[in-house]
Amino acid sequence: MTEPLFQIIHIAGIDGLVMACIASLVAGFLRGFIGFGAALVMTPILSLVFSPTVAVPIAFLSAVPAVIQLLPPTIKYGERAFVLPLGLTALFAAPLGVWTLSEGDPKVLKIIISLIILMMAFALFRGWRFRRSPRTTIMIGVGLISGFLQGLASVGGPPAVAAALSRPGDVYAQRGNILAAAAVLTASNIMPLWALGLFQPQTLMLAAILVPPHLVAAWVGNRYFDGRGKVHFHRAAVIMLMVVASSTLALSVLDFFD
């Protein structure tokens, strides 16, 4: 039982482990406050300290208990007209993304979709929204894109977040929809990560270390939203969406020319 722990300390050192804990805290706060963005913080830092094959499953393992922790506002405020069509189609499309990743070269597709999300994030930043709730067919399309991207590269969040923020309604509904989309996309990652054999003893031990601070920070973020944070939610979520979309686009372009 202690051998994986010694391996973690040997690989990362105390400084690396502290850095990973700080990343877990920041990511947890973002998850609790705006409902997404945690993987953008955790995955790059853990990839530097350990490796991507450790970082990706750790981001997933941290997300699962946090998703459960945030179920009350998800259930209370998530809108069925958003959650059901997006969620069901995302679960259907995720395996297609995994298959495309294994069979083809999705680099150009990732660049195109990242550009679209970035442009939509900029429009949201400028104040654009749908005047009426989008039709079910639009939500099905968003679900297909989100699920496909989640299976393709674990970046299915931005389309769903952009759709949630563009809907009319108050910040409670927008955040509830984002939390629901995050829950569905997290669930869609279980089988691919399991099939790739990424849940190793070292990874599980590191998750046992990083999940508790992640949950505490998510609780703080949720409390902040319930207090003063709701006033800043929409702008903070849109700015975070722009950061995520820009980062995904940059990584996609670098991957294309690699």
State the average pLDDT for the chain. 84
Length, in residues, of the chain = 258
Residue 137: count other Cβ atoms within 10 Å of its Cβ.
Answer: 9
pTM: 0.85
- Token pair for 179: 């939390």
Rounded-to-integer distance, Cα 136 and Cα 86, Å: 9
Average pLDDT over residues 100-120: 71
% residues pLDDT > 90 (the chain): 32
| Both structure tokens of 112 | 């195109």
Report pLDDT for 128: 74
Listed by start position, the domains of the chain span 2-257
d(CA 18, CA 207): 14
Q: Residue 5: what pLDDT?
A: 54
Residue 217 has pLDDT above 90, yes or no: yes
Q: What is the pLDDT of residues 121-134, one digit of tens each?
A: 888 777 777 777 77
Task: Give CA–CA dist 223/93, Å, rounded.
Answer: 34
C-alpha 213: how far from chain center: 18
At 168, which helix (H) or strand (E)? none
Give the C-alpha separation, 246 to 9, whole Å: 33
* Side chain identity at residue 240, one-letter code: M
In sequence order, what DSSP letters do the residues of 53-91 get, joined into one string? HHHHHHHHHHHHHHHHHTHHHHHHH--HHHHHHHHHHHH
Structure tokens at 49: 């300290």
When pLDDT is cut at 50, 70 and 90, the band that residue 153 belongs to is low
Q: pLDDT higher for 240 or 152? A: 240
Q: Extract long-range pairs of 48-54: CB within 8 Å, 24+ residues apart.
A: 49/11, 49/12, 49/16, 49/17, 49/19, 49/20, 50/11, 50/12, 50/16, 50/20, 50/206, 53/198, 54/200, 54/202, 54/203, 54/206
Cα distance between residue 23 and residue 164, in whole Å? 26
How much is the pLDDT for 251?
77
Cα–Cα distance, 173 to 124 (Å, whole number) = 16
Residues 156 and 37: beta-carbon distance below 8 Å: no
Annotate 179-217 with b (16+ C-beta within 10 A) or e (fewer).
Answer: bbbbbbbbbbbeebbeeeebeeebbebbbeebbebbbeb
Two structure tokens written together for 14: 């105390």
